[in-house]
Structure 1
Amino acid sequence: MAIIPWCTEFFPMLIGHCIQGLFGGSVDSVVLAEMLSLWGSESESPMQALYFSFAFGAILSPLVVTPFLHSRDDTGDTKGTNATPYVTYTDVSVNLSVTNENASTYGHTATFTNITTYDLSNTSTQLNEVMTVSPNVDCAQYTNITFPDCYQELMASRYSSDLYIPYSISSGLCLLVSLPFLLLSVLSLLDKFKVPHVDDETRVTKPLSNKLKTVTLLVTGIISGIDTAMEDAYGDFLTAFCVSQMGWTKQNGAIATSLFHGSFAFGRFIGIFLAICFKPLQLVLSYSVLLIAVNGVFIVSGLYGFGEGIWVCSVLAGIGMSVISPSIFTLTEESFFPVTGRIASYYVITACLGSAINSLLIGYLMDSWSDMSMLYVLCAEGFTIFFMALLCYVLVRIFYKEKVKETAIQEEDDGL
């Protein structure tokens, strides 16, 4: 994280993000597996709290980054982030030509690829040629001339945001968080301290066939992938839907998206307490029904232009998908089998794949067919989560219940 903002070339930047993603995904998998090994079948509320911290971090992150992002306009500020490009001139008419290619990084003089004469006495003149940055020379600013097509290269060198600051903050936080775990690891190697994990005997351990375990992982993985895909789809496409389909301004569309993210975080906070009263499968079933109802109202509101329905559904959609992903982990731990590091990694992978596939699908359909296709896809995915949850109910009530009976009989026979 500390190195990424200093990667000015694309390839080193790509490598940096790949490495960050690789280790970030590993951290997610290990943290989820460690959480369940610490709490076992009593992990409903702690898991919801962990996922609430994910949502809270997603809200906090833009607030940390925003103060370090520079903006620009054409007000003529020569020192700050709102500066307009400079031109050299000696009279009301001036020849602008190519200068030395070894341009200074922070040069203040703009030149043009074509030798052209411009009448600078006409303040409406538009200088549209491609701009380059020349070495520092004496220059003067003609503030009333606009340069609509000439900003890119100049702005890249002079008005880059101070993104290294939030990246440094993030890397420092990662270091601080890693130190206690490093200390625990060293102490455990020295036999000075042991983390009180739940005993394996208290975790769900049933003799399962590979076929049953595969079906279970497939069903729960589909729920995990679709839930994450729906979450990312709302965040990525809701603003575009509001602007294109509803005719809203971009600002209102962004507000609707912010409401979704805020209600999503609030729903995960409420899930901490709901997990005390309800089983994970009950939460998945009830929240999938809520998602189906919300998406249905969303479709009607989109077709008939009910703006109030869009506002309400933006909030309810965030709440509806807030507790499903953490409930899958606790459902697996409580009703099926222990969630090891490999199984946690599997759920993380399904979540990433679901999001990637869904974004491509919705983006293609919105471009080639209709903006309403986003809602149709999300509604179908809500039904899919509900049917997969019903399959989980069947697995728990029939197949895994039989396994529990067989295990109890076997233990009685062994005791005799």
Structure 2
Amino acid sequence: MDTLVDDVPGKNKKEIPKSVHREKIVYSVCLCASYLTCGWNLAEIGSALLDLKQLTSVSLEAASLYQTFFNVGYFAGSLLCGVLYKKINKFIFQFFSLLIVAIALVIIPWCHEHIAMVTAHCFVGVSGGIIDSVVNAEMLAIWGEEGRSYVQAMHFTYALGGIISPIITAQFLAPKSNHSDVIISLTNNNASYIYVPNNLTITQSAHYDNQSNSFSNCSSFPEISTSLDTIRNSTVVSNSFYETSRIYIAYSISASLCLLIGLPYLFMFFTFDLSKIRTGRTLKEEKASPDLSRLDTILVLINFGIMAGIYVAIEESFSGFLNAFCVNRLDWSTVDGSYVTSVFYGCFGFGRLIAVLWVKYLNPKKILSVFCIALFLMFASILIYAIYYLNAGMWLTAALTGLFIAVIYPTIFTWTEEDFLPVSGKISSYFNITSALGGTINPILVGTLMDVYSPLWYTYLLMGESLILLMTCIGGMALSRKLRQKLQQSGQVDYADQEGQLM
């Protein structure tokens, strides 16, 4: 018979068989690996954005739809997970989600049509939404309220994926000279797009005359043919682009990683007993606090849903458009822009790594407001650096932003679990749905405003959203205090435990 071991530290200990404890650890490691792919794939979109833009012959505004539809897919995947979570085995759910991601990643570098590229990113998002919802709910189902460090560790692997992915992707990107900044869209018959090289100075716009079948007012475009027939017979983004951009290699590596991480779930499906692993909560803990009224529950879900949405809007827009911002505003190379993205994720990951240790002793929800204020100051600093072209400051601020933002998202889940209601599959899906909404809307705003007006809008939006994040943090503290007062009045609070939580 297996030796019994303590499942969790603290005053409420559970004794479980050693073999089950090992299975819980193995399952937790696999969940962490799954979450690594979410960070990896998201970071790859931002790093490869300009190459993907070139492959499909679109503007930056149109290319921002790749991240937008990735988040649309995330929304759909999270919604699907909320509906099917209790009906499908979690191991099979994870395996097929990772398999679909792998297939979509292989296809992406060969999508020359804009609609095909958008669709492929949507499929990656659908699977990503399922994975995200499952891993957050399952990690808390395994460890319960004692899972604060485990959740931080899992979110660290998400950041780790964001660290490694841009470094690998950067090795296969096209050099800056192969990227075009100006695109002329022709809507006549079968005409598509024409690229104007970066070394041309464009001061006027060209117009197509239907009667003469040629361009007018194109003195500023010396390398553009004035014949529409010539344009029709030319190739747009021919195979020559693959001589400078080998982005298909980076995406093949990503697909292989997803497939390798998915295979253990197939093994666990046949060998592990899921009901014995998911023992982190008692039956009593499966229900919301009895002192939490319907109105309070709605306010909690709205507040933390907005917090999740704004957080993801900030994180994904900052990392996803950081490369483009550095190239277009600070005149960096795409490789340097990819590296500063990796620096952000490196500090982001380091912040989550050290959080695995300090969350045992300090309650992160008590200092979230400090992090939110620090984020606002970071984005204000980026605005100053961009105005005065202070490159060194950009590297430093990207690093500090990663540190300050690191613990916010996992804290949303643990804070909800500890103070309000258990993060079930439906609650986890809800948070991912609101997150996907933030990630869907923001790239459109950022891409459009940067493309049409100025790259500085990148900083304006982030500054405003950091203030909204601070407001939701304060709102969460007010709701937590209100519930604590109700518990005190009903005599359900352990004052010694409450005093420990304030540390």
Aligned with residue 281 of structure 2, among 198, 203, 206: 198
CA gap 1:296/1:63 in 2 versus in 1, 3 angstroms: closer
Q: Deviations over 1:13-54 (max 9, x none)?
A: 876654553333122212111111222222221111101111
Are the aligned partners of 2:107 and 2:120 in contact in 1 as well (CA < 8 Å)?
no
Q: Per-residue CA shift, 1:315-348, capped at 9, x if unaligned?
A: 1111111110001101111111111111100111
Aligned length: 336
1:182-221 paired onto structure 2 within 5 Å: 182-183=269-270, 187=273, 193=276, 195-201=278-284, 205-207=288-290, 208-221=292-305
Which of 161, 169, 178 is residue 265 of structure 2 equivalent to? Answer: 178
Q: Which residue of 1 aligns with 2:12?
A: none
CA pair 178-372 structure 1, distance change in 2 beyond 3 A: same
Mapped contact 2:141–2:279 kept (Cα < 8 A): no
Q: Is the 8 A contact 1:219 1:391 kept in 2?
A: yes
- Using the alignment, how far apart are the partners of 2:449 and 2:240 within structure 1? 35
Cα deviation for residue 194 of structure 1 reads 5.1
Map 1:2-401 onto structure 2 (within 5 A).
Answer: 3-4=103-104, 5=106, 18-61=122-165, 152-155=237-240, 161=248, 165-166=252-253, 169-183=256-270, 187=273, 193=276, 195-201=278-284, 205-207=288-290, 208-397=292-481, 399-401=482-484
> Which structure shows the bigger proportion of residues in helix conformation?
2
Task: Report if the CA contact (8 A) 2:313-2:435 is conserved.
Answer: yes
Match of 2:279, SS state, is coil
The separation in 1 between residues aligned to 2:382 and 2:164, in whole angstroms, is 28
- What is the CA–CA distance in structure 1 between the aligned matches of 2:287 and 2:141, rounded to whole Å? 11
Structure 2 distance, partners of 1:320, 1:59, is 16
Q: Is the 8 A contact 1:292 1:382 kept in 2?
A: yes
Question: What are the superposed Cα offsets for residues 212-260 of structure 1, whole Å, 9 maximum, x if unpaired?
Answer: 1111111111111111111111222223333333344444433332321
8 Å CA contact 1:203–1:333 kept in 2: the answer is no
> Unmatched 5+ residue regions in structure 2?
1-99, 176-222, 494-503
Instruction: Work out the CA distance in 2 between the residues paired with 1:200 and 1:380.
Output: 42
Helix, strand or coil: the match of 1:245?
helix
Where 1:177 maps in the other structure, the secondary structure is helix
Shift of 1:177: 2.8
Check 1:289–1:60 CA distance in 2 against 1; reply closer, same or farther (3 A cut): same
- Which amino acid is the alignment partner of residue 153 of structure 2? A
* Partner Cα separation in structure 1 for residue 160 and residue 289 of structure 2: 36
The separation in 2 between residues aligned to 1:157 and 1:293, in whole angstroms, is 41
Deviations 1:282-326 (A, max 9, x none): 242221122122222223333344333222211111111111000
Report if the CA contact (8 A) 1:206-1:403 is conserved.
Answer: no
- Cα gap change, 1:402 to 1:58, in 2 (>3 Å): same
Q: What TM-score, normalized to structure 2? A: 0.58
Aligned: 1:404 with 2:491: no
Equivalent position SS for 1:215: helix
Q: CA deviation at 1:402?
A: 3.2
Aligned partner letter, 1:257: T
- Kept in 2, the 8 Å contact 1:224–1:347? The answer is yes
The 3 A distance-change label for structure 1 pair 402 and 183 is farther
Alignment partners' CA distance in 1, 2:250 and 2:169: 7
Please give the root-mean-square deviation of Cα atoms over the aligned residues, in Å: 3.6
Q: In the TM superposition, what whole-angstrom CA distance separates every residue of 1:140-171 from its partner, at most 9, and x where no partner exists?
A: xxxxxxxxx65744559999845785365235
**Do the aligned residues in 2 keep the contact of 1:51 with 1:268 (CA within 8 Å)?**
yes
Residue 445 of structure 2 aligns to which amino acid in structure 1? L
C-alpha distance in 1 between matches for 2:235 and 2:380: 47
Report the CA distance shift for 1:252/1:6 in structure 2 as closer, same or farther (over 3 A). Answer: closer
**Residues 44 and 280, structure 1, Cα contact 8 Å, conserved in 2:** no
For 1:338, what is the secondary structure of its paired residue? coil
With over 3 angstroms needed to count, the CA separation of the structure-2 counterparts of 1:290 and 1:274, relative to structure 1, is farther
Deviations for 1:52-99, whole angstroms, at most 9, x for unmatched residues? 1111123334566677x5979xxxxxxxxxxxxxxxxxxxxxxxxxxx
Q: Say if 1:32 and 1:55 are closer, same or farther in 2 by CA, change over 3 A.
A: same
* Distance (whole Å) between structure 1 residues aligned to residue 465 and residue 159 of structure 2: 22
Q: Find the aligned partners of 1:317 and 1:241 in 2 and give their Cα distance.
A: 16
Select between 265-274 and 366-375 the one with higher mean Cα deviation: 366-375
Cα gap change, 1:361 to 1:279, in 2 (>3 Å): same
In the TM superposition, residue 201 of structure 1 has moved relative to its aligned partner by 3.1
* Cα distance per residue 1:85-135 (max 9 Å; x no partner): xxxxxxxxxxxxxxxxxxxxxxxxxxxxxxxxxxxxxxxxx9x96799xxx
Name the CA distance, whole Å, in 2 between partners of 1:346 and 1:407: 30
- How much does 1:358 deviate? 1.2
Query: Is the contact between residue 33 and residue 339 of structure 1 (CA under 8 Å) also seen in structure 2?
Result: yes
Q: CA deviation at 1:387?
A: 1.5
2: CA distance between counterparts of 1:375 and 1:39?
A: 39
Contact 1:131 / 1:151 at 8 angstroms: preserved in 2? no
- TM-aligned CA deviation for residue 389 of structure 1: 0.8
For residue 307 of structure 2, what is the amino acid of its counterpart? I
**2:166–2:339 contact (8 Å) kept in structure 1:** no
Contact conserved, 2:170 with 2:335, CA < 8 A, in 1? no
Higher-Rg member (1/2): 1
Distance 2:173 2:326 in 1: 27
SS at match of 1:46: helix
The question of whether the paired residues in 1 share the 8 Å contact of 2:167 and 2:342 is answered with no
Distance 1:42 1:302, change over 3 A: same
